[in-house]
Structure 1
């Protein structure tokens, strides 16, 4: 992975304008689609499979007239006026009549109607006009709500106070405000202080802004096809900006460090992407796993939130490893810290004073157990308010004073009681009811429901025209977010079995409060599976990253301290009301899905810091440093960058709190608090303390597990090995087409080598050794098997690392290996096939003349080898030729593919025993057939007379060399070799 990212970074660095142009084009397309053809953001709290949702769906079928959105026009009479007075009644009824005539209004029920329930207050001061729309809130005709408002406000001319309630008048749309801009400004200041350069500080901001623009355009476009809530894009903006800046920061910080230490800018940018970019990649994947895990909850709007935020993280991650190196390609050496500057001294280690990070970790390591207890105590105390966490869906009570929904909520609470703000709807299935006693049974159902503790009033059960269903409105004594109302819902649902037995009628409860209960239940049921899947997958990923069991276990469990402390802060401020006025917060219950959303995001971001901080510790430990020294080294290396990253995230999230709306304020505060707790108390204090207490055991991994886990190498050890091999290959490529330096092939159990040697370009190398060993070496030269150790250079490319390039330059021909097609196809057909392999898919096939010319050259080579050349024609089947001719023809077919290096094996030529003179003649024939620049490797068995080979090879003017390899390998590796045939 590090090597792939290295090449990606190098490609972006070398072609900056192409990469930047591609990103800008993508940004333009995304924003164009999103703004020009995107859909409308809308709220939907549908939760398929729950009782309340099934009742709503049935309501849409059997009572379509009441299945749409609804609203309340709350009219409060001026002092001295009673709503029962004739004049007041006439005015209110006239307004209800006018609203009833609007297009899109199914019914506007006058509070004086016989069908109205509790629409006139007992004190005579207030009345409620119930408005039922024809469609759901997201499909209302444009301007209809303003029509209703205008008509209702006509009463204010006579002194009435009018307010508007219901879901359609709740302010659930969220937008960016100036405080979010301040968050980005704070992030910019942190970047300038971190790098000491405005140019360097601007690059992470640029990549993050472009990435979030792409994500936002995509989200708005997708809203045309699926329901996307108003909070979704804002959540994506919060997370996208934060991680976009942070991910670019980690890569840029590594680049600046390398530049300060004299590394070439291109080499530095590529290496930074390969090393720090690997950590970015796996940190980003961890965040994406946590966010995508919200799919497990099974609530559509929450799933969309999670996927949208995960996409924003992915785009930010992609920008950090492609767009940022393109910016670095434009800057080139201008990012090198000025000699003598504070940044240069810090990056080169010339500053004799220990950094603040190093001083802090040394302080922690003096008494690690003390800091473990302190951190656990502080975060545990902050988490105490979380014990009284109260969850609910948004309601008018949570709106700011002066808004429509809040004014209507307060007016209804004052004159009708809080329960009138959240009436329940009981659906009654009449399909199994007794027709003869239907009305009596409906009355019995009403009376049973009315007897439930906490029920204030109930209307009469209203059957639909087909008399297969009925609805019953229930007004509880308490408000929609009061825990007592949840007891009322559960109490009514508890009557289901009794009523079914007594009346044959099945009931189900729906309405806003019932939906809130079902969402809470669904979240409770999904919490453990969610935590299991997300934490489990992340644990496996971190185990692969750190090659340890205890480190990822500690990382996964320690974040619980951060997240529960964040919950505590959210409850204290949003539920208990601490600092509510200063933060413009209306105290009340926390939105239902906040805990699981916070859990997902904080977990993902916490693992970011774990990767960036602990990977440096592991790097030092792997290189031989004692545990405590490794902790100090890794911490000092990453502390400054992690501090900057955490501050950036904190400022970005915190900026959404003062002027943000509803859902976003609580989520933003929780994220800001959680990031601060996790970065500074957990990752930078608790983690080094725990690592010190664990000592060497921190890096323990069972041997059997180590063999089965892939080595992700985010520290870049493989990349450093590759770069060392590249330098060696570049040094040898001018004089050698093939070079082996202490090369060991095979596998860990069955090794061949070490072997060293080289052959110049256009030369012939005889590879002497047992056949199985030769085959493994040949497969390694063709980059089909990875070396066990040592270095291998093939035509200027190093293996491992440049496998794809090597495979296109090397061909292998087994001179004793025949296939069915060698008997079925003619030589001319085979020549066409092999030449086609060397051409592009758009090229024309070789002409008949070209095929005849190729066959003629092969026939001449067969003559040199002493074979029966007269039988070598375009119509001859290769399998019918004599062994010598067949060997030359097989090599000639491999050469038709145009390789720069050809490996042939002459262990035995079918029925002829191999001899030095015979092998020499065949090798000479192949050398004459191959272009001068093509290097040839010939595998020969041990004991062959190499002097005879040399004598037979006297003709071609090529460099000759011989290389002896080890004894035969064992059966397990032989089977692996046979599979390569």
Structure 2
């Protein structure tokens, strides 16, 4: 590979005014097609074969049309109405304001008028819940499902809920005008003194990336590269390749929306990957090019050599990222598959621009690339074996006491990993919305009036077709008694039978919120009870609703982590065997990754779930899909740093140095670029903490922490320590394996042989 990249690097450098226009045309064509053929992205969060789908099937069978409200992309809306402090909604003026709100909703075009809206106060009155002994068990049983908080012991009749059907088919069809109309219709009630907030998908705004995070990350990356190169112009080259690579990748993703339904989450990961990897890979090649300029006969030769060595490492580093991201498809969850594919496309373009566009840019900038030279910055060339850099100093320190540095790094990672034991997963729901949003206010008002469990009702759909007609009432009663008997269940509503009497629905309201582990355990226990009830009565049932779906998603994602990690790790392990011509080096690389992942999970739990250090205002469960996304992405990046740093150590070992000296000089050569690349990644990912979305914040932090721990503790301390301790055995590979593993020559040994062969032999003097 090194020979092919060497030849291409020289050609692209020499024919720069052909390569650059070709790239420009390609970029414009992709951008134009993407802009013209782009279709709206989907916000669908569908996951196939979830247990909650059983409830949907039963509803479709016995209650046609009712299951539509439980689809991920369904347009739902619930108005949560609160009385002024110290008053009740049943007071004449407040009741009149509620009636006026319903009249206004009835006149709204986007409201489905096929089903008349029911005044929650009138409904409670018809249920007999405005009179009687509210402390009696009979009253509680009868009025538990009332849309008015008649059972609230401190402020009864102060909060009501009004479910409103809308004519909009899918969430992606909701416009800003629709959201405004749905919210503004309650302005008259608010003017009358009521608090009216709106929850449900009709009020959810589709989060659009602000671009602020990317700009902050790009700006900091520029500063880091100025320091790394000691020059301003050179720092622009990685920025150019990053913009071109990310733009081309995004255009291709947008183009894909014309033939596929692409989830909107896809671009979030692609933008992270595209910026970070493009800059990292360009940084690696430009750093090597800077050194080669000092030792080669021409700039063209330097470009070819830089691409043959650093470029080869970039190719295989990029392959590990692509493997990890494409591997997300084995999870079998559509939105994760597309996120992985989007990230893989961005990673692929990062590699392509690095090895095709980069040498042409080096040629275009020519002698101006490393000018003006900045004073006091990057004074020592890390490729100069006689210079004493910080990398050399750290390498020598590790070489003197490898056992101590190994033990210290493991202890630090272990301490950071400890909080991960308490990790609780959940999906971003209404409780994770910004406090200023109407959705969040509706959640809190409903919790205040009806309890936290009212935001995560368990919808139980019962199939009675296998139950004898005279036993159906008894069967449903037994199920209701079973559910009511759980200590974490607040109450269960009276059943509603289908028209054919072969189906029934009832709601269970937990005492805890949708993302609480106690609620998820309640879902599990309720489902486990089906076997005995089916044996006794012949009935079947399914449980759906927000809480049930959250629990199902958590289980689906967690169950896939181990097989996913195994497949990706094995694939990368085999690839790294070919890169390093070793068995133990790839093995230690994978084991070190497990430590860095555990530390990352622990730090994320500590900050976002337990709320330590005061970095966030509202602790909440870790987003369900974060662990598997984190594993996929950070694994690829970890192998990047492994390739960048350890290939330099292997290069020194192949050229005759002892294992200890090979580590020290390889560290000396690679530490600056790996440090710069890791710092760039940390700030690119960390800049997403600036976003308002809680999911983006937690993912940005976790990715930044993952890079921090893996790059600086594992790749730059733990792995070098192990290489010294293992000595010659670190580079051992069985002879039979050596024969079948292709020699990809990342170190450029074949390039040296090619040069030596092409050298003209000295002329023999004529006698």
TM-score by length of 2: 0.90
Counterpart residue number, 2:162: 129
- CA–CA distance in structure 1, aligned partners of residues 558 and 299 of structure 2: 52
> What is the rounded CA distance, in whole Å, between the counterparts of 2:250 and 2:57 in structure 1?
32
Within the alignment, does 1:404 sit opposite 2:410 as a pair? Answer: no
Q: CA deviation at 1:142?
A: 6.7
Say which SS state the counterpart of residue 473 (structure 1) adopts: strand
Which residue in 1 is equivalent to 2:119? Answer: 110
Aligned residue runs from structure 1 range 385-424, under 5 A: 385-424=419-458
Q: Does 1:642 align with 2:642?
A: no
Q: Does 1:119 align with 2:125?
A: no
Task: Give the alignment partner of residue 348 of structure 2, picking from 280, 303, 314.
Answer: 314
In structure 2, the CA distance between the partners of 1:57 and 1:100, relative to structure 1 (3 Å rule), is farther
Aligned residue for 2:733, secondary structure, equals: coil
> Which residue in 2 is equivalent to 1:651?
683
Which protein shows a greater Rg?
A: 1
**Residue number in structure 1 paired with 2:64:** 63
Question: How big is the shift at 1:17?
Answer: 3.3
SS of 2:646 mapped into structure 1: helix
2:559 to 525, 532, 555: 525
Aligned equivalents of 1:205 and 1:326: distance in 2?
A: 15
Query: Contact 1:229–1:301 (CA<8 Å) still a contact in 2?
Result: yes
After superposition, the C-alpha distances for 1:316-375 in whole angstroms (9 at most, x for unaligned) are: 110101111111121223336789987896338779651110011101111111111111
Distance 1:101 1:223, change over 3 A: farther
How many angstroms does 1:699 deviate by? Answer: 0.4
> What is the number of equivalent residue pairs in this alignment?
729
**Is 1:81 paired with 2:87?**
yes
1:556 Cα shift?
0.5
- CA distance in structure 1 between the aligned counterparts of 2:373 and 2:427, rounded to whole angstroms: 58
Shift of 1:4: 2.5
Instruction: Describe the SS at the equivalent of 1:542.
Output: helix
Taking the aligned partners of 2:194 and 2:656, their CA distance within structure 1 comes to: 82
Distance across 1 between alignment mates of 2:682 and 2:601: 16
Structure 1 pair 271–464 and aligned structure 2 pair: CA distance change class (3 A): farther
Deviation at 1:631, TM superposition (A): 0.7
Q: Secondary structure at the match of 1:656?
A: helix
What is the SS of the residue equivalent to 1:426? strand
Distance in 1 of aligned mates of 2:694 and 2:718: 33
> 1:402, 1:142 → 2: CA distance?
17
Alpha-carbon distance in 2 for matches of 1:355, 1:204: 24
Deviations 1:728-747 (A, max 9, x none): 59x99xxxxxxxxxxxxxxx
Distance (Å, rounded) in 1 between the aligned partners of 2:548 and 2:640: 38
C-alpha separation in 2, matches of 1:283 and 1:149: 50
Contact 1:454–1:485 (CA<8 Å) still a contact in 2?
A: yes
Cα distance per residue 1:552-596 (max 9 Å; x no partner)? 00000001221111111211111111344xx55531111001111
Name 2:294's counterpart in structure 1: 260
Measure, in 2, the Cα distance between the counterparts of 1:500 and 1:33: 57
Which of 702, 706, 716 is matched with 2:738 structurally? 706
Give the distance between the partners of 2:492 and 2:28, measured in 1 at CA. Answer: 56
**Alpha-carbon shift at residue 646 of structure 1 (Å):** 0.7
- Out of 102, 109, 121, the position equivalent to 1:96 is 102
In the alignment, structure 1 residue 237 sits paired with structure 2 residue 271: yes
2:459 is paired with a residue whose SS is: strand
Give the aligned partner of residue 565 of structure 1: 599
Quote how far apart the aligned CAs of 1:190 are.
0.6
Superposition deviation, residue 18 in structure 1:
3.2
1:724 alignment counterpart: 756
Higher strand share: 1
Give the aligned partner of residue 615 of structure 1. Answer: 647
Confirm whether residue 671 of structure 1 aligns to residue 708 of structure 2.
Answer: no
Aligned counterparts, 1:797-808, within 5 A = none
Of 464, 468, 478, which aligns to 1:434? 468
- In 1, the alpha carbon distance for the partners of 2:118 and 2:723 equals 68
Alignment partner of 1:39: what SS? coil
Counterpart residue number, 1:30: 30
1:144 aligns to what SS in structure 2? Answer: helix
Distance change >3 Å, CA 467–CA 353, structure 1 → 2: same
Distance 1:562 1:664, change over 3 A: same
- 1:751 corresponding residue in structure 2: none
- Is the CA contact 2:296–2:302 (under 8 Å) kept in the aligned structure 1? no
Q: What residue number does 2:408 align with?
A: 374
The 1:396–1:653 alpha-carbon spacing in structure 2 relative to 1, beyond 3 Å, is: same
Q: Structure 1's 248 and 614: CA in aligned 2 closer, same or farther, altered over 3 A?
A: same
- Identify the residue that residue 486 of structure 2 maps to in structure 1: 452
Indicate if the aligned counterparts of 2:230 and 2:374 stay in contact, CA closer than 8 A.
no
Q: Deviations over 1:275-332 (max 9, x none)?
A: 2111000000001111111112111111111111111101111010111111112122
Equivalent residue number for residue 805 of structure 1 = none
Aligned to 1:146: 180
**8 Å CA contact retained: 1:63, 1:464:** no
Quick check: 369-378 or 113-122, which moved more? 113-122
Could you tell me how far apart the structure 1 residues matched to 2:356 and 2:706 are? 30
- How much has 1:499 moved relative to structure 2? 2.5
Aligned pairs for 1:568-967 within 5 A:
568-580=602-614, 583=615, 585-728=617-760
Distance in 2 (alpha carbons) for counterparts of 1:259 and 1:305: 40
Structure-2 separation of matches of 1:339 and 1:219: 39
| Residues 351 and 701 of structure 1, relative CA distance in 2, 3 Å threshold | closer
Q: C-alpha separation between the residues in 1 aligned to 2:657 and 2:15?
A: 39
Aligned-pair distance for 1:247? 0.4
The question of whether the paired residues in 1 share the 8 Å contact of 2:78 and 2:198 is answered with yes
Distance 1:211 1:57, change over 3 A: farther
Q: 1:726 to 1:512 in 2, by over 3 A?
A: farther
Q: Could you say if the C-alpha distance between residues 428 and 105 of structure 1 is closer, same or farther in structure 2, counting changes exceeding 3 Å?
A: farther
Which fold has the larger relative contact order, with Cα–Cα distance below 8 Å and residues 6 or more apart in sequence? Answer: 2
Tell me how far apart the structure 1 counterparts of residues 566 and 386 of structure 2 sit (CA, whole Å): 47
1:14 is the counterpart of 2:14: yes
RMSD value, Cα:
2.6
Q: Distance in 2 between matches of 1:144 and 1:470?
A: 34
Provide, for residues 408-437 of structure 1, a one-character-per-residue CA deviation record: whole Å limited to 9, x for no partner: 111111111000111121122233233344
Distance 2:307 2:252 in 1: 26
Q: 2:530 & 2:441 partners in 1: Cα distance?
A: 36
Distance in 1 (CA, whole Å) between partners of 2:560 and 2:723 is 33
Alpha-carbon contact 1:170-1:404 (below 8 Å) kept: no
- Aligned positions of 1:159-238 closer than 5 A: 159-171=193-205, 173-238=207-272
Q: TM-score, normalised by structure 1?
A: 0.71
Contact kept, 8 Å, 2:462 with 2:541, in 1: the verdict is: yes
> Per-residue CA shift, 1:128-170, capped at 9, x if unaligned?
1112335342344773332221112331010111111124434
CA contact (8 A) 1:260 1:348 kept: no
Label 1:691 to 1:350 Cα distance change in 2 as closer, same or farther (>3 A). closer
Give 1:451 shift.
2.7
Separation in structure 2 between the aligned mates of residue 500 and residue 319 of structure 1, nearest angstrom: 61
Alignment partner, residue 130 of structure 2: none
Are residues 471 and 141 of structure 1, via their aligned partners in 2, closer, same or farther at CA, if it must alter by over 3 Å?
A: farther
Distance 2:198 2:215 in 1: 33
Structure with the higher fraction of residues in helix conformation: 2
**2:390 is matched with which residue?**
356
Measure, in 2, the Cα distance between the counterparts of 1:169 and 1:720: 64
The answer to whether structure 1 residue 480 and structure 2 residue 514 are counterparts is: yes
